[in-house]
Amino acid sequence: MGLLDGLLREKVVLVNGGSQGVGAAIARAAAREGAVVAVTGRRTRPGEALVAELESAGAEAMFVRADLADAEQAKAAVAEVVDAHGRIDCLVNSAGLTSRGTLLDTTPELFDAHIAINLKGPFFAMQAAVADMVARRAPGTIVSIITSSAHGGQPFLAPYVAAKAGLAGLTRNAAHAHRWDRIRINGLNIGWTATEGEDATQRAFHGAGDDWREQAAAKLPMGRLGQPDEIADFVVFLLSDRSGVVTGSVIDWDQNVLGGLD
């Protein structure tokens, strides 16, 4: 992808869940646009590999090992970035759990796991980031990767939808609460996207073969799955001043239209 004009030049950006998939694409795009980038993840090896890649391209980057299902680790990750760079300007909540469960077969343990990673972690990461911005009386931006399934979703996504719909509500609530602090908070309801995580999910839960992407693409209006780098450019735009005063928006980044019927 080409340069968007250095939209995040000298901004300190933390991408939670940034070591693979959409999160890694966002980290790459933010670095390309001039940001100092921090990424979190549970696995050290891919996180450090991504940081090495970004540094080799000339960016300043760091990896923070954190299990974002743990609220204290989510807050500590923000604190580590602030300690290293003196501030946090932008936060992206990109970590997600997509394991399956229906209303009837979801256990309390599975439900709690979804709430922890898809809602609780983002809540407390946002709390820590906003606290730093407010303390410095500085503007900032936050973008959460949500899902188009937050509108209802498939029956096998019950705990996922419950948690992500909560994140959509949190996005609007926090945006309203901190608009006078000049902190803009938005979300993306992304549709079906080709990522490593989605590949693993399709194989583990749906018995998909090597051609599942081609079969899925044939069923979609645009004839292809969404791509992480496309989402990343959109996120960079929302994080940047170029997106103006937009806040409290949960944007459907999808090729299906909510409410549209054939």
Token reading at 62: 């760091």
Has 160 been annotated as catalytic? yes
Tell me how far the alpha carbon of residue 185 is from its chain's centroid. Answer: 12
- DSSP for 83-142, please give it: HHHS---EEEE-------B-TTT--HHHHHHHHIIIIIHHHHHHHHHHHHHHHHT--EEE
Tell me how far the alpha carbon of residue 194 is from its chain's centroid. Answer: 15
Spot the catalytic one: 126, 148, 151, 160. Answer: 160
**Residue in the block written with tokens 């946090």:** 88
Q: Which of helix, strand or coil describes residue 150?
A: helix
**At residue 42, what are phi and psi to the nearest 5 degrees?**
-80, -25
Pairing of strands 183-190, 140-145: parallel
List, by residue number, the catalytic residues: 160
